Each structure stands twice: as C-alpha cells, then as structure tokens.
Structure 1
Amino acid sequence: MERDAMNWIAGEWAGKPVLASSDPSNGETLGRFVSSNTQDADAAVSAARHTFDHTTWAQDARRRQDVLLRWAQALELSVEPLAELLTHENGKTIGQARGEMRAAISEVRYYAGLARHIAGHVIEPEPGTISTMLREAAGVAAIIVPWNAPAVLLVRSLAPALAAGCTAIVKPAAQTSLITAAMIRCLDQPALPAGAVNLLLENGAEAAARLVESADVDVISFTGSTEVGKRIMRAAADSMKRLSLELGGKSCCLVFEDSDVKAIAPRLARAATIISGQQCTAARRILVHVSKADQMRDELVKALASLKVGPGIDPASDIGALIDAASRDAVQTTVERACDLADRVLLRGTSSGPGAFLSPTLVEHGEPHAFFCQDEIFGPFVTLETFVTEKEAVEKANNTVFGLSASVWTHDSARAFRIARALRDGTVWINDHNRLFAEAETGGYRQSGLGRLHGYDALADFTEIKHICVGAGVLEGIEVLGS
C-alpha cells in the first residue's frame, strides 16, 4: 500500500510529501505527507463550491448511493493493509484497528442506504395552500478528523455529508494523515465528480483555520477537544456556519450494590484503556456503591495491571502506544500531579520506551471537584469514587461540564432506566460501555458538543429544511368554510 500522501483537490492528487508520519511504538518513519497552506485550502473550497453549485450532485441520490457503495467495496478489498497502517500510524492494537475498519465499512453502507431516502413532508395548512418541506443538502462541508479513531470518525461525518448531497473537504490530524489519505484514495472513482471530495493534509492548523473562516464553507464537522471546539465556534460566528461538534467527555460508570464486581471489573478496565485511554467515551470515573468499594479496589487493580502494554501490531498486546511521545509525556506529567493530590494511589502507571507507552493508573478520591475528576485526561487514567444513595450517584456523575456518555451497572431494570434518564449524557449504556453503532446517534450534552453523528439524525447536521408554499386554490364549486 502506498504510504506517501498528497492532497486531493478538484480530482487531482497534488503536492510534494515532505512531512514525516511516524509509528509511535518505535519512532520509525512510515511515510510522508503534504504540508498545506491557505492557498491549498482556498483551492479545495473553490473546487467543492463549484461542484455543489454547478453539477447535479446534490440532486442525484442514486449516483451518491453508488459512490458510497463502491467506496465500501474498495475499503473492504483493502481492509487488512488499511488496518495494519492504522495500527502503525496510530499505535492502537491490531484488533481494535480491524474492528474500526469493519465499523467504518459498515457505516458507509448504512449511509449508502439512506442516500435515496432524504425525506421531506407535505401539509395543507389551510384549504388550497400546499406547503412542501424539502430536506436539502446544506452545501460545502469541511470535515476535521481527529487522530484517535481516524477511520470511523472520517466515515461518520463524510458518509452522511455525501449521502445528503454535500460536497466536502477533509482535513485529518497530522498524526494520521497516511491512513486518511489511503481511505480517501479508495474514493477516487469515475462516478464521483471532481471536487465533490477534497483532501487537505497539514501539520498545524493554517488550512483548517481557513476552512472555518471561509464564507464558502457552509458546515464544519469537527471531532476533538472542547477547547478547540470553542475556538471553532468563535471563528465560525462571522459566517454563521452550521456546526457539528463532538467534543470532550468524562464518562462515569455507576456500579450499584447488586452488581457482580468480579465479572465487570475486567470490562471496566478495557473500557478505560481502549485506544490507550484516548477515546472520548472511555470510562474515566468509576462510581461504586460503598458496600462494593473494597472488592472493586482489588478487582479493578488486578484487571488493569493484567493488561499487557506493547506494540499494537503484536496480537498479544492489550494496550498500544499513545499517539506520540509528546502526548505521552504530557499525560504522564498530569497523571503524576493527580497521584500527588489523590487520597489514594491504587495503581501507578509507568512509561516505557522507545515507544510512547504508558501503563494504566488508578486513583481513589473523595472530592469530585478535584481537577483529575473533572478534566478529560486523554490517556489510561481512571478515578474511583464511592456513593451511598442513587441521588448521590447521579449528583456526582452529573457534576461535570461534559455530557457525552455514561454507563449504569445493575440487575435492577427499573433502577437502570431511572438512573439513565437522570444522567445528563447523550449516551447511557446499561451493563456495558463503549457500544457504538452506525444506526444509533451519538453526541453530547453541554460542553461535549452540538449535533449528532451516526444514525439517521446525522443527516440533520448536513441538511437544511426548505419550505415551498403554493397557493393552489380549491375546485370551483367547493365551499370554503369560514373560521
């Protein structure tokens, strides 16, 4: 599989790959990618704008479905080399990479199915007046993709954008430029009009900032940190863009007294360390009923300590490298500060080299306002807290600026639903964690973002509703009743 990556603008691959992309498990260079600037961004926007305004792409649902189905087929034919590239460039385990590629392909097919059913509705609000509501493509969509799950997070924005009839510019994170370019190369097909999809690569944010500011970009779909999401909102205010933002999280797992702690502790450990803890829905806070606290301490320490840290390409590894050494060092510094302040350090993580490896840390703390109970620490770091009543559990779980996801662990079905309804989170799992589906919308409350991706409602992030009103009148001889 070709490793070096270029920009794709107006149907042409262009630019000289000069920036290195490295394997975080060993520092080896995997390939090189283009360094884009504002001129490249302007060219990509112009291409996307022209295709949207001057072709029938937005009206041709059958063509869009065909493009998406062909993309899914091309991805499937290359699934194993793509998964291996994802593991090498991102650091995650090969099992997680294969699962991510399968999920991405499934999601492309899901939106291919929806492409031919972007339904509106018609009403007659008064006699002889026909109001038609059409759901139309919003225009040009700029899709800014993070590095933690670059395959599925590319697809969950780009697939609904294309299904809805938008044209797009994709701007991936620098650390995962190669896998994103490889997936976009699978889209290079005759049925796709030149300029319908464009790719900009960069190390930095010059091109991305141009996309956010451009008056010719109608939608920004961004997945990443809350801090960057806020900056995007401010920069996009001038042009009043539609914003689709999935931002940070601090997911709580509420474990009640009827739970089998020994059985669920290994599942919580894996939920906390998925992508080396670099997933926005990863389990961050374990809230356990006080009667099960001693057992949870023992079992969770045992489960976390048993996870093998090593190169993601090794099938025996449970936790791969963090995305790069700089991120690993920043996370480790924050974790050490948390360990200094926590009531108890139950398991202290350590780093190892030459790769960007960091083993899990578990601390126990009684004060939920502590920074490490509130801030999203993007690595294998978990806090343990206790509660006595349902009310206390919900109050602690909701005591956060985030609202992305949570889980409830209990055999009492009424309690499970009662607690789930009380939690201010976009997704709540019952006796499970990190179950995500193409068919089920995800997104956050509060500072975890705006809009929803996955599912049918993802189309709303890339469409506008147009009301067309016609005064058709009524047949001669039909009496129009007065009010």
Structure 2
Amino acid sequence: MQSEVREADASGDGQTAGTADGFDRRMLIDGRLVGAATTFPTLNPATGEVLGHAPDAGVEDAEAAIAAARRAFDTTTWATDTEFRLHCLDQLHRALLDNIEELRELTIAECGAARLLTNGPHVDDAVAIVRYYADLLRDYPMSEELGEMEIRGAKHRRWVEKEAAGVVAAIIAYNYPNQLALAKLSPALAAGCTVVLKGAPDTPLVTLAIGELIANHTDIPPGVVNVLSSSSAEVGPVLTTHSDVDMITFTGSTATGRRIMAAASATVKKVFLELGGKSAMVVLDDADLALPAMFSAFSMTSHAGQGCALTSRLLVPSARHDEMIELLAQGFGNISHGDPAHPHTYMGPLISEQQREKVHGMVQRAVEAGAKLVTGGHKIDPGFFYAPTVLTDVDPDSEIAQEEIFGPVLVVLRHEGDDDAVRIANNSIYGLAGAVYSKDEDRAVAVARRIRAGAFSVNGGRFFGMDTPFGGFKQSGIGREMGIAGLEEFLERKTFATVVP
C-alpha cells in the first residue's frame, strides 16, 4: 500500500484534558487533538451533575476543519487508494473493539443509555458498522460496463465509474451518538470522502472519543477525519453553507433539516437527511394483541423513547380498544427504569431537563384537550427521568398525535378497519417507519404497502440492520443510510464513452 497519504500520518499528542472527572476530551482537526478557546459542560442525565467538559468550537475552528478536509481530499490519494482505505477502516474497527468497554461506560454516563441495551445500536452494533463497510468495500464494483452501441456507423464503448462525493459535513443527533457517527463516517471513508463530523452538544464526549481513537490508533491521514464539538449556533451554518463542503449528511429534527436543506441550496450541495418520525403501529382486527402490546411497551421505553423510528402511534380496532389498553397498562407498568449503569435497568433518563419539560408539556396539553392518561404522565427525580406513559382517546389531528415527542409516550388511536387504519397512519407529515400486526401475513403486508413510510415491521420483524437501507418518505428525510445504499450516498457517478477502433 504505497501511498502518499501514508507519509502524512495522523498525529495527536495522545492526551486528554486531564481534569478530575477524567471525561474531558479534545477535538480532532487536521490530524491533531486540540482544544478551543472555551469549553462547555456536558451532564450525566441520570443525575443532572456535570460529567465533563468539551471544547466549544467557534467559526475559526470549523473553517480550519473544513480547510483540512478540503486539502486532504484534493492533494492526497485518499479518494483513489482503495487498499489504503481498507487498511484504515480495519484499524479503526480494531481500535473501537480494543476500547469498547471504555466507550460503553462513557455512553452510559453521557447518553443515559441502559447498560442492558448497549450491546445493540448504542455501542456493539455501532462498532460493527465499521466492519460491515470495510468488508463491503473489498468487493464493491467502482465501475460498470454499459456495453457497446453503434452510433452513426461507429461503435462506442460506454461505462460508468463511481468516485467520492468530496468533503462531507456530518452533523449528528444526541440519542445514539456512536451509531449515528459511525453510520456516517464508515461509508463516507469507504467511498473516499473526507469528513468534518460535528457531535451533538448534549453528547459531545462520545463523539470526541471516536476522534481520539482515530488520531491515536489509525493511519487515517491528517484532515481526512475532523471531529468538532460546539454549543455555538454559528458553527452549524458554517458547515452547511461553506463553498468547500460538497455534501451534508444530517440526522436530527425535521425543523433543523428544513433549515439545512435551505442553506445547502445556495451552493447546491448534495444532501442526506434522516429526520423526525411519528410512526404508526397498526393492529388489525384478527391480531393477537399480546405481541403488539409487549412490543409497544419495550419499544417506546427503549432509551426513554428517544428514537426517531419508534412507533409512537398505536392504531387499534375500536372493538378491541379496551382489551389493548389493559395490556398496555400492565406492560408499561412493568418497565424497569432507573440508574442506566445498573445491569437490570431497561429504561434510563431523557437527555436533559429541557427535553423532559418538552415531553411533559405535550402530555399535559393533550390531557387538557381531552386525552385520557392511562399510566405515567409525570417526572421522576433525581435526574431527567419521565414515567412510561400511555394516552388514549386522542384526537388524531392533535399535537400529541402529529408531532414527534421523543420521550416514553405512546398515543393510542382507534380505527374502524384496514382502510381507516391506513388513512390515519398516512395522516402525518412524517413517513419514517411503521409496523403491522395480523394473523394473515399477506393482509398485513398489503396494509404496510399502502402506508407511506421507508421501513416496516410485519408481525415483529426487525428491519434495522447494517445491510438494510434506512430512511424516510415525506418530511422524514431524503436518501438512505446503512447497507449498499448508505455507501452510494457518498459516491458520484461519472459516465465515460470512447470510440471503439
């Protein structure tokens, strides 16, 4: 693997900020681990106490990171040396595995992720994404022959080559920082892009820890990966409008996604958006209610309901409504919540007091508007916990049934048959995911096909995985993450033709 980029080895001083809490981190810019002029605190959401501090990047830091990424893309062979990229992805995977327990503890502490669930997308599955894209790159065809065509008496050979999209600004949400960061970094690096990754201000340390591993344990060259943390409202606009950024990949709220899409339009950047959801679980009249009731309880309290694809609307046949409510009350009441570090805790806290206030405010307004509180609906102290909550007798057009809550709150809606269920499920600006339950699988699939959403679970089937494309319809986003489609988001296609002698 003789490559000029290997001569420009990523270097860092290998030191963290070294304060008493031991959780402070540094940013990665142009191959070096650096601080910023100021820092900002990050809290442990289970206690509300300060966990550590992160560098508070400003406009100059963002511009330096973009310049480094531009330089690495334009002046090195990173984008064209596939073997070297494979080598670096292998190193990154090994570094993550070697440090996975430290990463797990940090994720539990900063995100409030339950230890019980960190073997999934919070940590273990997230690390496996790097392995998936390294393996995919080994066999992925970067060119495609279209065959010969006769034009005006001459034969023309045509083919398509795929090349890296360029400099990528990757902006992630707080809820699954390892999964979101690695689901963007891994395919972007495999494709040959360079990246400026900005962690969420609520969970900066986890993302910065990945940057430290890259600096200290891989041969990824300076500028290829840059990792920022910031609480400033000025940094995001720099990443989304800068002329040296070719592509934006963003996971977060639909409101922010709209602003990013507008900002990117000035320079016509390529945009991937994975945004909000208000997904519906449809229970048909022949279904065994026990399974969707159990799935709803565990799904809506997983990571305290802070998941964009969770089925936060449960559509139940009117004739079976009371039976389902009884099962839900029992299921939600059995969810263990508390210290996320405890091995038997299932549900941890919300990320912040601000988020808890948002959730509680939506629940209170729903009750005031006539919704019935079945269970939950209150805060749990200390920390930022919220009781698992079920609401019924909800107006399908109301705020609680239309807006993303991002908390452990399930809204139950009645339907009068398959057509009515489809109508209610599609009554949303979102279209990220959904679920259908029926004893007749063909009937369930037929209903799922009529609902405008990017992924569907039928009778409990799991659609989320490293090899399955994930993304939404309507205002849930643009493009697909994960799988082959996730790699191709970071590639451009160039068509060639030559006259055959």
Note if contact 1:443-1:453 (Cα within 8 Å) is conserved in structure 2. Answer: yes
Matched residue, 2:184: 157
CA separation in 2, counterparts of 1:122 and 1:368?
A: 51
1:231-310 equivalences in 2 (<5 Å): 231-310=259-338
CA distance in 1, matches of 2:399, 2:248: 30
Question: 1:314: which partner in 2?
Answer: 342
| Conserved? CA contact 1:6–1:34, under 8 Å | yes
Q: 1:190 to 1:302 in 2, by over 3 A?
A: closer
- Does the 8 A contact of 2:283 with 2:292 survive in 1? no
Could you tell me whether the CA contact under 8 Å between 1:222 and 1:246 is conserved in 2? yes
> In the alignment, residue 46 of structure 1 is paired with which amino acid?
A
Paired AA for residue 166 in structure 2: G
**Aligned 8 A contact 1:62 1:115 in 2:** no
2:468 maps to 1:462: no
Alignment of 1:98-137 (within 5 A): 98-99=119-120, 100-116=122-138, 117-123=140-146, 124-126=148-150, 127-137=154-164
Query: 1:314, 1:390 → 2: CA distance?
Result: 42
- Quote the Cα distance in structure 2 between the aligned partners of 1:461 and 1:240: 15
1:342 positional shift = 3.3
Matched, 1:403 2:431: yes
Superposed displacement of residue 190, structure 1? 4.8
Retained in 1: the 8 A contact 2:280–2:433? yes
- Tell me: CA distance 1:82–1:3, structure 2 relative to 1, closer, same or farther (3 Å): same
Shift of 1:316: 2.5
Q: Deviations over 1:11-53 (max 9, x none)?
A: 0111146211110111222221101111111110110000100
Q: Are the counterparts in 2 of residues 309 and 358 from structure 1 also a CA contact under 8 Å?
A: no
- 8 Å contact 2:142–2:163 — kept in the other structure? no
Query: Which position in structure 2 is the counterpart of 1:24?
Result: 45
1:470 is paired with a residue of what secondary structure? strand
Partner SS, residue 186 of structure 2: helix
- The alignment yields a C-alpha RMSD, in angstroms, of 1.5
Aligned residue in 2 for 1:333: 361
Percent sequence identity is 35
Does 223-232 or 377-386 show the bigger shift? 377-386
**What do residues 41-93 of structure 1 show as CA deviations (whole Å, max 9, x unaligned)?**
11101100001001110111111111111111111112122111101101121
Q: CA deviation at 1:388?
A: 2.1
Report the CA distance between 1:6 and its aligned residue.
Answer: 1.4
- 1:3 aligns to 2:31 (yes or no): no
Counterpart Cα distance in 2 of 1:271 and 1:452: 22
Q: Distance in 2 between matches of 1:445 and 1:433?
A: 20
Amino acid in the other structure paired with 2:80: Q
Within 2, Cα distance between the matches of 1:129 and 1:118? 22
Matches within 5 A, 1:43-62: 43-62=64-83
**1:172 counterpart = 2:190:** no
- Aligned residue-pair number: 473
**Aligned equivalent of 2:211, options 173, 184, 203:** 184
Distance 1:334 1:367, change over 3 A: closer
Give the aligned residue type for 2:271.
Answer: L
Tell me how far apart the structure 1 counterparts of residues 388 and 371 of structure 2 sit (CA, whole Å): 17
> What letter is aligned with 1:461?
E
Q: Deviations over 1:300-334 (max 9, x none)?
A: 01111211221211223221110011211121112
Measure, in 1, the Cα distance between the counterparts of 2:461 and 2:27. Answer: 37
Find the aligned partners of 1:395 and 1:65 in 2 and give their Cα distance.
Answer: 47
What code does the residue aligned with 2:287 have? S
1:193 equivalenced with 2:221 (yes/no):
yes
Q: Deviations over 1:383-417 (max 9, x none)?
A: 11121221111111011000000001112011021
Distance 2:24 2:463 in 1: 34
Shift of 1:249: 0.2
Partner of 1:218: 246
Could you tell me whether the CA contact under 8 Å between 1:68 and 1:112 is conserved in 2? Answer: yes
Cα distance, 1:115 vs structure 2: 2.1
Partner-residue secondary structure (3-state), 1:465: strand
Structure 1 residue 88 corresponds to structure 2 residue 109: yes
* 1:319 alignment partner, SS class: coil
Distance 1:282 1:469 in 2: 47
Contact 2:57 2:232 in 1 (8 A): no
- State the shift of 1:240 in Å: 0.4
In structure 1, the gaps of 5 or more residues are: 474-483
- Structure 2 equivalent of residue 476 of structure 1: none
Tell me: CA distance 1:376–1:190, structure 2 relative to 1, closer, same or farther (3 Å). Answer: closer
Find the counterpart in structure 2 of residue 138 from structure 1. 165
SS at match of 2:482: coil
- Please give the alpha-carbon distance, in whole angstroms, between the structure 1 residues aligned to 2:175 and 2:394: 31
Tell me the residue number matched to 2:417: 389
TM-score with structure 1 length normalisation? 0.95
Q: Which amino acid letter does the alignment assign opposite residue 70 of structure 2?
A: R
Q: 2:476 aligned to 445, 448, 452, which one?
A: 448
Matched residue SS, 1:147: coil
User: CA deviation digits over 1:321-372, x for unaligned, max 9?
Assistant: 1001121112111211112113422123211222001012211135311111
Secondary structure at the aligned position of 2:202 is classed as helix
Does 1:417 pair with 2:442? no
State the SS of the aligned residue for 1:453: coil
Question: Alpha-carbon deviation of 1:434?
Answer: 6.1
Is 1:39 aligned with 2:66?
no
C-alpha distance in structure 2 between counterparts of 1:433 and 1:250, whole Å: 19
Q: Which runs of 5+ in 2 are unaligned?
A: 1-15, 17-21
What SS does the corresponding residue of 2:272 show, helix, strand or coil? strand
Alignment partner, residue 480 of structure 1: none
Q: 2:32 & 2:238 partners in 1: Cα distance?
A: 20
